[in-house]
Amino acid sequence: MDSFAEPNKPAPGTAASLADVRDSVQRLETEHRAKGIQLSGRIIHLCHYLPYSSALTSSPSKRSPNLPSPPATPPPKPADIPGSPVEPPSESLSTTSLPDPIVSERWKITPRYGHSAMISGITSLSATHEQLVVGWTGDIQAAGQASQDDVAVKVPATSVSDEDRAALEELMAKEAAAGAEPGDKTTTIHPVWLDDKVAHGHYDGYCKQTLWPLFHYLLWQDVATEYASADAHWAPYAEVNAAFARKVVEVYQPGDLIWVHDYHLLLTPLLIRQSLPEAAIGLFVHTPFPSSEVFRCLPRRKEILDGMLGANLICFQTYSYSRHFTSSCVRVCGYEINSKGGIDVQGHVSSIAYCPVGVDADRVAQDLNRPGILPKLEALRVLYEGKKIIVGRDKLDVVKGVVQKLRAFEKLLHDYPQWIGKVVLIQVTSPALSDSPKLERQVSELVAHINGEYGSLDFIPVHHYHQTIKKDEFYALLSVADLGVITPLRDGMNTTSMEFVLAQDKTKKSPLVLSEFMGISSNMTEALQINPWNLGEVAAAIHRGLTMSQEEKLERHQKLFKIVNTHTSHTWGASLAKMLLERIGSQDLARSTPFIPKEQLEGRYHSAKKRLFLFDYDGTLAPIVKVPSMATPTPQTLQALTSLAADPKNVVYIISGRDGEFLEQHLGHIKGLGMSAEHGGFIREPGETEWSNFTENLDMSWMDEVLEIFKYYTERTTGSHIEVKKSSITWHYRSSDPEWGLFQCRQCQDLLENNLARKRPIEVLVGKKNLEVRPIAVNKGEIVKRILYFNPDAEFIFCAGDDKTDEDMFRSLLLFPQDARPDATKAVLKAPLSVTLLAGADGEGKEWEERELAIAKEAVFTTAVGHSSKRTLAVWHVTTPEEVVDHMLHLVAQGEQEAGKSSL
């Protein structure tokens, strides 16, 4: 990457409004449909959980309520202190009084609370699109039954009949329709039914014990209470991802947009892509994404990255998270970054973007008008009269920074003793996803220490409540605060900070102390941003917030309030649709190259009296390897080439960027095989032993100048080296640091193109981890034209390549107009430069005649090796070099069978 700075970052508060984003979506859809791009008007969302919890009102079998089942999540422990004046919501969603459950004859469902911003964003899209929500049902409870420990009894998912499953889906659809706004489009729910053991191995195992810590810069052994294995739950993780992919294939319609949400389903994009290669797939990662040096510790790192790269668009909360992901793809997998910042995997390009999630500001504003809030707010004012109130609300999770916050508060009382007796910290901690007795004990001991050191009979500095609270009490706490302090060590999105800003709009306009390690910190620049590890800095920020003038408070609050109200969860949801539609409109996704049709290939092969086979070598007949000398042909490749070249009807050429020595060493023993080396600089005709040099009559004095430039960059790029050939010169950086090598490559390319190439007859080519300079008159396309010129009677052409230099071959074989009919007029070929150059003095003044070609449009099989979305001039594609060889072996075998039949 050329720079680590965030590109085109908008000024705070200048984000597009919801109306603007929706107008853009509508405009893009109109443009796409006008171009013939199919759009269904539907969006499929894949979420780990469905937005409803389910309970079966009567068990389908006479099942004992004490039948063993997977353990339920333990309820939060009751507090050892009197009820707090407040009670926190979950991390991702404010809690509320439970609504009445929706009941049918067999089922009872209630809204599931968690990930409110995501669900709100998805729901808001119903205003413009039909929605399909795919998710796990969660544990099925047995309604009205409880075990001896008063824990709800679970019904095994495998025991739920097909009839009951259909009834649940119907009930959820009715509830979604009942909660829709007037004019909204349909939302349907599609449950993914999982075996209980697999489901919990996926979520409680791999997700929470491996991925969650890793994405928050912790390794699995750092949070485990016993021996931890990063691979212990890999099988259920992969199985659940496969189940989600199958469900998408089941409900998909051409033209659907697909959005996969969060780290629970990182393998799903590739699995969907394998079944639906033309689908438009987006992946949004709600958590942070760690540095490549942390991510590379994961044993299944390549599988995870490849799974994510199945998406057309991968979106993160911040630019830094997207840069970490890009760096991981480059450093861990060796993938390349294209000029637009996308990741290129065998021609399939995944675009990388970022878009932070917001809260549903309208819903929060309505909730702040609830009548139960004001009495509780007044009670808090009376209770802490004469004291400044600092508020913190976090999950009791090691990454939430509760310990660091308490230590910073202790530092405040130590460094600013004037606050002793005049400020209180109300810290609410809700139970975390994984119980941590050690952390709970550490927090309790630290609270006791601070209260013992700085408290008195009439003053308790820290009020800690480890429990869940109601929505009214939560908003009352946010509204009464003189300062909000949120100090996670690493966090994706934190709704509390935005809800704090909205709650403060009607009260004190109090400032906010915010960790810089949060996904939303780049947006909320008017908060007092701190490093939670720097206790002195946090203490100073708290002191500044408590002593801030009313004018500064108001100015900061107004800017934060505008940001929170503009970039809402609704805007985020519409932005996802807009970004994926933009991706569909790009050239990469608008045209998909079909897989080569074997029957059509066979038919044309057998009917032709003369055939041309033109192969690139690296990436086409042999896979790309880190050490070029290791790219040797397999026995199957040698067999295919030998058999093809032995057929008198065939003319077979290898057209490679390799030098002649390499080609002769590995392929020179094959009789009848023609070879072209150095991207068309040299040619050895079939049956000959001498090479012809196309550059003999060209000015090659530029090579010394290019060599000096390449030496300059080689000295400054560890691991790079120069390859000097007879007709070209190449700088390789495959063994250097991938990001630094790419940066140096682009700098060198810029220097060559803007200085030397303007004065000399050369062209600069960017290849796979290399930069090549060659004469402008020499390329693979010229060689193809030469071969075709001397074989005008060929009735079948197969040309395969994988690289940018191979596009010259494909371009030279565009012999017919794009809209020409299969029975179009015969093509005519003028004498190419590759013919006249070799003629030398003998050819001076000679009139080279045009030649009419026998080839038909449908008999030209230009084939790109790579993904179907690869930008190419080729008509067909195969995925791997092995498929090229397999097709050739198949043609040879079919040819031998035909020959055998004709001899009988």
Decide if 802 contacts 866 (C-beta within 8 A). yes
Structure tokens at 367: 């909730």
Q: CA 787 to CA 770: how far, in whole Å?
A: 28
**Burial label, 78 (beta-carbon count in 10 A; 0-12, 13-18, 19+):** exposed
**Burial label, 107 (beta-carbon count in 10 A; 0-12, 13-18, 19+):** buried
Q: CA 23 to CA 21: how far, in whole Å?
A: 5
Single out the residue of 228, 173, 492 nearest to residue 355, CA to CA.
492
Question: Coil, strand, or helix at residue 539?
Answer: helix
Structure tokens at 502: 């909205």
Q: CA 116 to CA 495: how far, in whole Å?
A: 9
Decide if 155 contacts 141 (C-beta within 8 A). yes
231 an active-site residue? no
Decide if 121 contacts 163 (C-beta within 8 A). no
Distances, alpha carbon 206 to alpha carbons 60, 233, 292, 573, 636, in Å: 31, 5, 19, 28, 40
Q: CA 229 to CA 598: how far, in whole Å?
A: 46
Single out the residue of 348, 350, 347 nearest to residue 807, CA to CA.
347
Decide if 647 contacts 608 (C-beta within 8 A). no
Residues 6+ apart with CB under 8 A from 54: 107, 108, 109, 137, 138, 140, 141, 168
| Catalytic position from the list 344, 616, 803, 808 | 616
Structure tokens at 422: 């005049």
Distances, alpha carbon 710 to alpha carbons 137, 189, 553, 716, in Å: 59, 59, 57, 10
Residues 6+ apart with CB under 8 A from 425: 390, 391, 392, 406, 409, 461, 462, 463, 485
Question: Coil, strand, or helix at residue 236?
Answer: helix
State the residue for tokens 């060559």.
Answer: 752
Structure tokens at 691: 């090479």
CA 449 to chain centre: 45
Q: CA 325 to CA 282: how far, in whole Å?
A: 15
Q: Give the N- to C-terminal CA distance of the chain in Å, as an integer.
A: 64
CA 64 to chain centre: 46
Decide if 75 contacts 205 (C-beta within 8 A). no
CA-CA-CA-CA torsion sign (406, 412, 415, 417) = negative
Exposure on the CB side of residue 532, measured as CA atoms within 13 A = 23
Decide if 301 contacts 210 (C-beta within 8 A). no
Helix residue spans in 39-145 (DSSP H): 116-124
Instruction: State the SS3 of 542-573.
Output: HHHHHHCCHHHHHHHHHHHHHHHHHCCHHHHH
Identity of residue 275: S
Cα Rg of the chain (Å, integer): 33
Identity of residue 879: T
Strands of 468-594, DSSP E: 483-486, 512-515, 528-530
Q: CA 527 to CA 516: how far, in whole Å?
A: 10
Decide if 118 contacts 124 (C-beta within 8 A). no
Catalytic site residues? 616
